[in-house]
Amino acid sequence: MKSLKGLGVALVTPFNEDLSVDFSSLTRLVEYNIANGCNFLVVLGTTAEAATLSKEEKKQVTEHIIKVNNGRLPLVLGIGGNNTAEVKKQIEETDLSAFEAVLSVSPYYNKPNQEGIYQHYRALAETGKQIIIYNVPGRTGQNVEASTTLRLAKDFTNLSIIKEAAPNIAQYFDILRKKPAGFSLLSGDDEFTLPVTLAGGSGVISVIGQAYPKQFSDMLKLAFERRVDDAYAIHNSLVEITRLIFAEGNPVGIKTVLAEMGLIKNVLRLPLVKASKDLEERIKAEMKNL
């Protein structure tokens, strides 16, 4: 497996005004991130509004990114859900030859207990594919506790990474402190990226990073070199814009930023709608500061 370290970005899916997928903007976005220091790309994550894409559109988006990337950066594919058997089947039936790993969110809505979460990932591990555990309680309604993550990490060598997005940073530190050798933690929270990386994390799967890949990847390089003050100077410059893009949900804010940069059109599919006028103005003002 190629290294999934440093800045990974969870790509948005750009749309045209008629809500069709905007492939030319997608090309521009991928090229922009490759040119500006991004280390790997995440395809069809939550940020991609994957829940609103048809099966055919998912296939087209995936194939397009593979083609544009042309082997330059490692790729990760999002395949998740709350029907374990169906997720397992999808992983088994998908051609993953272009991908280093599958990013699979813990089951949402059902709210399984910790044993249920363990058995879900155990079933996915049986596919033999590299699986990134993805814990995002704010979206799923259920936390994958550190003890469950550590149990999975010790029991299955192909569950070798977690994208951790728990709101409690102590949980990240507990995993980093007790994890087996060869298991890595990527921050799933942009604002926690630097402290988590300094504590032994391997980087981030970022949302804001696709708008500011140069700054974000520079910050991570400085963190890996233990140049803490320089890294924090970049971190501090990005805190406000990072908070603003999540103020009305993801990818509402990041699409506002990317549209203002001229990379995509500011179009979302229902049930998501564009940022409010007030938030849009605040985002634009902060972008001018940067």
For residues 19 and 270, give the distance between their C-alpha atoms in angstroms, rounded to a whole number. Answer: 10
**Mean pLDDT calculated for residue range 267-287:** 98
d(C-alpha 48, C-alpha 46), whole Å = 5
Tokens 């890996």 belong to residue: 224
Could you tell me which of 272, 98, 82 has the C-alpha nearest to residue 90? 82
Determine the Cα–Cα distance for residues 10 and 19; give it in Å rounded to an integer.
20
Q: What pTM was computed for the model?
A: 0.98
- Decide if 89 is catalytic: no
**Main-chain phi, psi angles of 77, to 5 degrees:** -115, 130
pLDDT at 155 over 90: yes
Cα distance between residue 183 and residue 60, in whole Å: 32
275 Cβ contact partners less than 8 Å away, ≥ 6 residues apart: 248, 252, 253, 256, 283
Residue 96, in any domain of the structure: yes
The two structure tokens encoding residue 162: 């977690």
What mean pLDDT do residues 144-166 have?
98
If one counts the domains in the chain, the total is 1
Q: Is 212 a catalytic residue?
A: no
Q: What's the pLDDT tens digit per position in 223-259?
A: 999 999 999 999 999 999 999 999 999 999 999 999 9
Residue 287 lies in a domain: no
Whose tokens are 């391997």? That residue is 202
Looking at residue 49, its pLDDT comes to: 98
Q: Is 205 within any annotated ligand binding site?
A: yes
Cα separation, 53 vs 73, in Å, equals 24
**Structure tokens, 233:** 């100077």
CATH value at residue 172: 3.20.20.70
The answer to whether residue 87 is domain-embedded is: yes
pLDDT tens profile 109-124: 999 999 999 999 999 9
- The residue assigned the tokens 């985002």 is 283
| pLDDT, position 268 | 98
Supply the pLDDT for residue 1.
84
Tell me the backbone φ, ψ of residue 70, rounded to 5 degrees: 50, 45
Q: How far apart are CA 36 and CA 219, in angstroms?
A: 13
Tell whether 199 is covered by a domain. Answer: yes
The structure tokens listed for 11 are 């790509």
Out of 118, 134, 172, 212, the active site residue is: 134
The verdict on residue 289 lying in a domain is no
User: What's the domain range around 196?
Assistant: 6-227
> 91: pLDDT confidence band, cut at 50, 70 and 90?
very high
245 is in an annotated binding site: no
Quick check: is 281 in a domain? no
Catalytic residue among 58, 163, 179, 255: 163
pLDDT of residue 88: 98
Q: What is the pLDDT of residues 167-192, one digit of tens each?
A: 999 999 999 999 999 999 999 999 99
Q: How far apart are CA 105 and CA 80, in angstroms?
A: 5
* Burial letters 142-160, b for 16+ CB under 10 A, else e: bbbbbebbbbbbeebebbb
Mean pLDDT for the chain overall: 98
